[in-house]
Chains A and B, each alone.
Chain A
Amino acid sequence: DIVMTQSPLSLSVTPGEPASISCRSSQSLLHSDGYNHLDWYLQKPGQSPQLLIYLGSSRASGVPDRFSGSGSGTDFTLKINRVEADDVGVYYCMQGVQIPVTFGGGTKVEIK
């Protein structure tokens, strides 16, 4: 199985400041289609996960441009410019390049 490792485990951010979350995979997520099959999800408190970023860097419909994804191969980053109060929750990365689909352990983001 591909192991997904996120860091940090938690993050406390002042509103308006940037935030960055790292996700590393134990194997390359580069698919034969030329895309990195890495997604980012946000699970707000008491809610189901929602898709933020797919294929490493493509924003899902309706996701603010404050969110951006980057990286390739085994190292990926989710960046939030100017964190807002509504961004609190747990962020997960997920790989879909190989069965079984696997998720990172999550990064909890809170507001200072």
Chain B
Amino acid sequence: QAQLQESGPGRVKPSDTLSLTCGVSGYSIIDEDYWWGWVRQPPGKGLEWIAYIYYGGDTYYNPSLKSRVTMSVDTSKNQFSLKLNSVTAIDTAVYFCARYHGVRGWFDPWGQGTLVTVSS
């Protein structure tokens, strides 16, 4: 059974780069049926899809964030990562990683989420 766990700094300074990693256990990230994604949730607000990546490295980004986002995958470590540059206060959110079914189009399971605060 797949389990996902986010890791990374809980605080990032404005204009810096937010970097998060999602470790996957109990399941190989090398699976042709799944993509691996990120969704964020500002405090008290709704969900926003950021991006997802295939084990081979193909990516899809939310156009609203595309200029600032980069995803990568490390199959040897069974993990994938997110970088969001030039952050501002509006990037403060809980960041979730999740497995995405490429054909059926659902996110499951999700990591527990990690709060990233953008503040000097």
Compute how far the CA of A1 lies from the CA of B46 in the bound complex, rounded to whole angstroms: 16
A49 touches B106 (CB 8 A): no
Known pairs A48-B96, A48-B113, A49-B96; A103 contacts B108 (CB<8 A): no
| Min CB–CB distance A88 → chain B (angstroms) | 17
Known pairs A49-B96, A100-B63, A100-B64; A92 contacts B106 (CB<8 A): no
| Min CB–CB distance B21 → chain A (angstroms) | 17
A49 touches B112 (CB 8 A): no
> A1-38 CB contact bits vs B (8 Å, 1 = yes)?
10000000000000000000000000000000101010
Known pairs A50-B110, A102-B49, A103-B48; A97 contacts B96 (CB<8 A): no
B112 touches A60 (CB 8 A): no
> B93-114 CB contact bits vs A (8 Å, 1 = yes)?
0001000010111111111110
Residue B62 lies at the interface, judged by CB distance under 8 Å to chain A: yes
Residue A55 lies at the interface, judged by CB distance under 8 Å to chain B: yes
Q: Residue B47 contacts which of A35, A47, A96, A103 (CB distance < 8 angstroms)?
A: A103
> Taking chain A's interface residues, is the majority helix, strand, or loop, or is none over half, making it mixed?
loop
Residue A106 lies at the interface, judged by CB distance under 8 Å to chain B: yes
Residue B60 lies at the interface, judged by CB distance under 8 Å to chain A: yes
Q: Which residue of A lies closest to B60 (CB)?
A: A99
Compute how far the CA of A41 lies from the CA of B64 in the bound complex, rounded to whole angstroms: 23
Q: Which residue of A lies closest to B94 (CB)?
A: A48
Residues in B lying within 8 Å of A, measured CB to CB: 39, 46-49, 60, 62-64, 96, 101, 103-113
